[in-house]
C-alpha cells in the first residue's frame, strides 16, 4: 500500500480487488488492458485504487473522478508511478 497527498490530505492507494472491479465497471476493460500512454485509463486506475483502498481502511474519500483529476499534478502522477514501480520491483526481488 502506498499513499498519495491530494488537497493537503494523505490517502491510501493500493491494488485491492475492489479497485480492479471498479476499473472494469467504469471502463469496460480489465486492468491488464491498460495502455501505459493512455492518461485517462491511468488516472481512472489511480482513482479506483485510492477510492477502494480508502474505503478498505475506513478513510473518507470524497472526490469524484473529475475532482480527483483536477487535484492531480504531473508530479503526483509521476510519484505514484515511481512508487508502483518500486513496489513491484521489491515484490519481484522477494523483499515484500
Domain count for the chain, please give it.
1
pLDDT digits (tens, 9 = 90+) for 23-78: 999 999 999 898 888 999 999 999 999 999 999 999 999 999 999 999 998 888 88
Check residue 90 and give its pLDDT. 76
pLDDT of residue 64: 96
43 vs 81: CA distance, rounded Å: 11
What's the whole-model pTM score?
Answer: 0.85
| DSSP characters over 33-93 | G--TT-HHHHHHHHHHHHHHHHHHHT------HHHHHHH--HHHHHHHHHHHHHHHHHHHT
Q: Which domain holds residue 10?
A: 2-92
Amino acid at each position: 500500500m502506498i499513499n498519495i497527498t491530494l488537497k493537503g490530505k494523505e490517502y491510501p492507494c493500493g491494488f485491492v480487488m475492489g479497485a480492479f472491479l471498479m476499473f472494469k465497471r467504469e471502463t469496460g476493460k480489465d486492468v491488464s488492458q491498460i495502455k501505459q500512454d493512455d492518461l485517462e485509463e491511468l488516472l481512472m486506475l489511480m482513482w479506483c485504487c485510492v477510492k477502494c483502498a480508502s474505503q478498505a481502511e475506513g478513510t473518507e474519500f470524497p472526490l469524484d473522478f473529475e475532482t480527483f483529476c483536477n487535484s492531480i499534478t504531473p508530479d503526483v502522477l509521476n510519484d505514484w508511478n515511481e512508487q508502483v514501480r518500486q513496489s513491484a520491483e521489491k515484490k519481484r526481488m522477494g523483499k515484500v
